Amino acid sequence: MTRSFDHVVIGGGVMGASILFHLAKRGARSALLLEQSTLGFGSTGRSSGVIRMHYSTEVNTRLSWESLNVWRNWSEHVGEGDAGWTHTGFMIFSDEDYRPTLEANIAMQQSCGVNVSLISREEALEIAPAFTIGEDEAVAYEPESGYGDPSGAALGWVTAARALGAQVELETPVQTVEIENDRVNAVIIDGERIQCGTAIIATGPWSSKFLATIGVSLPLKATRHEVFILKRDLEAIPFHPGGADMANLTYFRPEAADLTLVGNGNVVHDADPDNYDSGASMDYLYDVWSRLAARMPQIEAAEYTHGYAGLYTETPDSHPIIDAIEGIEGLYICTGFSGHGYKLSPAVGRLMAELILDGEASSIDIWSLRMSRFREGDLNSPQTTFRVMV
């Protein structure tokens, strides 16, 4: 017998999981999520989990700010699982070059309601005595930011969606979407054709490959990024907030009691998601560790624990694509989140459910994230945070 669902979500990262949950929460319970491997197998399972508001465009700032409310009140919004919210605060360090951009970004973020401000060097050192801050540097502080557990969030969302009646199948790669007369008919998995009215492509770094199976081409590429974890001497550095260092080009956050996670999103290498090196490299380790030590000198004596690499899904303007696919009724795309999709995923899932169920995303204006912008040459200005966190 042919199985049939109203909605099939393809991909079990934070985006697919959040979309499934928000569909089910809105009452669309004939919904199935298909994941080729395990939940969080893609970017989600390798994400640094930083939750900060520092963006240079309004759309990303609003997505981030709205999502923070969910991270901080997970059980109230989702009711299942543990998304690992940990409050740390977040600092952005700027040299003279970046200062005008920082000031413009902060003004824009404040106009969106974000709790962020420029603070003095003395105030910054009081919050985080382990940092070295030059007299000529500027510091912005987001007191409400922190980090969380991306895989935990994906699991929480699908658990809550299943409790509402949605279904989830792992180890089930989708081969393609069957389209007839310009509308979605079914998704095809090994040995089965599952009928559906809508199919939502949330396939992260595999998106280009998957879109090719239905003859759609979008400027998406997968890129490889490393992070590593250091064990701090707690006497030397008992605590530090999360941060983005525009001068020394690192981002970092504390992890658990005595660890520090560090990365730098702008060291970019194109990668094939089915065949890339997911391990750490010595060159990167020494380079990024020494730059972290320029901001936090005593981290030099920390102990290396481990490192790994994961994939971003990048677009030419480092903004995602959240849209209905033009010309194919019932087909939707949600991808291209570079190094910042995790923190945006609560708001994105809600917007996707609006787009699918109401025909329009209304809670935040996402016109600038439409797929036609590439054809129209109407790109967003690239994130100024590109130097550190794409």
For ligand FAD, give the closer residue by CB, 103 or 178.
178
| x-marked contacts with ligand FAD along 367-386 as a string, rule CB under 6 A | --------------------
**Contact status, residue 383 vs residue 56, Cβ threshold 8 Å:** yes
Q: CA-to-CA distance for 108 and 55, rounded, in angstroms?
A: 9
Q: Using the rule CB under 6 A, which residue among 337, 353, 364, 369 binds ligand FAD?
A: 337
Backbone angles phi, psi at 157, to 5 degrees: -65, -45
Q: Using the rule CB under 6 A, which residue among 3, 4, 37, 97 binds ligand FAD?
A: 37
Q: Using the rule CB under 6 A, which residue among 8, 9, 12, 81 binds ligand FAD?
A: 12
Q: CA-to-CA distance for 156 and 56, rounded, in angstroms?
A: 30
**Contact status, residue 79 vs residue 70, Cβ threshold 8 Å:** no
Q: Using the rule CB under 6 A, which residue among 8, 15, 186, 249 binds ligand FAD?
A: 15
Binding status of residue 208 toward ligand FAD by CB under 6 A:
no
- Which among 29-37, 72-80, 178-186, 370-378 is the span making contact with ligand FAD, rule CB under 6 A? 29-37
Closest approach of ligand FAD to the CB of residue 345, in Å = 7
For ligand FAD, give the closer residue by CB, 13 or 330.
13
For ligand FAD, give the closer residue by CB, 330 or 339.
339
For ligand FAD, give the closer residue by CB, 47 or 250.
47
Binding status of residue 343 toward ligand FAD by CB under 6 A:
yes
Q: Using the rule CB under 6 A, which residue among 5, 8, 32, 44 binds ligand FAD?
A: 44
Binding status of residue 310 toward ligand FAD by CB under 6 A:
yes
Q: CA-to-CA distance for 240 and 77, rounded, in angstroms?
A: 29
Binding status of residue 34 toward ligand FAD by CB under 6 A:
yes
Torsion angle (degrees, nearest 10) of CA 165, 322, 50, 53: -120
Binding status of residue 156 toward ligand FAD by CB under 6 A:
no
Binding status of residue 227 toward ligand FAD by CB under 6 A:
yes
Q: Using the rule CB under 6 A, which residue among 21, 23, 24, 47 binds ligand FAD?
A: 47
Binding status of residue 243 toward ligand FAD by CB under 6 A:
no
Residues that bind ligand FAD (CB under 6 A): 10-16, 34-37, 41-44, 46-50, 150, 173-174, 202-206, 210, 225, 227, 310-312, 335, 337, 339-343
